[in-house]
Amino acid sequence: MEQAYNSLANFRAETRKRDFARSHRFEVQIIPPAELMGDDGKRVPGGQRMATHLTSAGRSANHLSLFVEDAMIPGILLGTRPVRINNLNEQRASAIDFGGDSITFTFLVDATWAAKDFFGDWMRGIINKRTREIAFPNKYYGGMIVTALNNKDEVVAKWEIEDVFPRSIAPIQMSNSNTQPIRLPVTFTYKRWFVIPV
């Protein structure tokens, strides 16, 4: 009888040689748009500047990278449409577009409410609530760098997400029966992403 191509013994041997990627081993760098912050001189790969944004509490929002509880690595989205082949009763999907999608990050909110202030200021810079005028994209596009780590805090993979801006801040529910830290889900839209060699 024909045997399986792989066996449990093969799987065990491979897992002894290498570790699995762990979903809790990551870090995120947030690169706000230049219009949102002042420059503190630090730079990230690609030459973009890490900057200081003052919240209503007077603190820098760069520390928000420490409070990312949930992060997403972007996927790939292809737009398609059906195309009829040679006037036959056969249709095939044809790629017509390649673009970004949305990703949601969850942030822990500290006692200064810096996360809500920061992303609120970012979104208020996109559209004026009174005049309804929309800013030019170069005024509100930011970026992100998502890094995967191993159990030794070594970088094993890195992705840069370009032309990022928040499109939704979820409502926050307060409750006397809940003593857990407040969590703030923020949904971002982006144009493209690419892998940074490590």
Higher pLDDT, 22 or 77: 22
What is the mean pLDDT of the segment spanning 73-98? 76
Asked if pLDDT for residue 57 goes beyond 50, the answer is no
User: What is the rounded distance in angstroms from the CA atom of residue 165 to the CA atom of residue 189?
Assistant: 6
pLDDT for 99 equals 67
For the record, the structure tokens of 34 come out as: 């230049």
For the record, the structure tokens of 81 come out as: 């449409």
User: What is the rounded distance in angstroms from the CA atom of residue 174 to the CA atom of residue 139?
Assistant: 33
User: What is the rounded distance in angstroms from the CA atom of residue 90 to the CA atom of residue 122?
Assistant: 48
Helices (H) and strands (E) in the chain, counts: 3, 11
pLDDT for 187 equals 94
The model's pLDDT over 176-186, given as tens digits with 9 standing for 90+, comes to: 988 899 999 99
pLDDT for 178 equals 86
pLDDT for 48 equals 47
Single-letter amino acid, residue 42 = K
Cβ atoms of residues 90 and 83 within 8 Å: no
DSSP string computed for 161-188: EEEEEEEEE------TT--SPPEEEEEE
What is the mean pLDDT of the segment spanning 28-55? 60
Where does the pLDDT of residue 37 fall: very low under 50, low under 70, confident under 90, or very high at 90 and above?
Answer: low
pLDDT for 61 equals 52
Where does the pLDDT of residue 28 fall: very low under 50, low under 70, confident under 90, or very high at 90 and above?
Answer: very high
Proportion of the chain above pLDDT 70, given as a percent: 83
The model's pLDDT over 116-133, given as tens digits with 9 standing for 90+, comes to: 888 888 888 888 888 888
Give the chain's mean pLDDT: 81
| 132 Ramachandran zone, left/alpha/beta (phi>0; psi -120 to 50) | left
User: What is the rounded distance in angstroms from the CA atom of residue 165 to the CA atom of residue 72?
Assistant: 15
Domain 20-74+100-195 has CATH 3.30.1490: no
Higher pLDDT, 137 or 49: 137
The model's pLDDT over 144-158, given as tens digits with 9 standing for 90+, comes to: 999 999 988 899 999
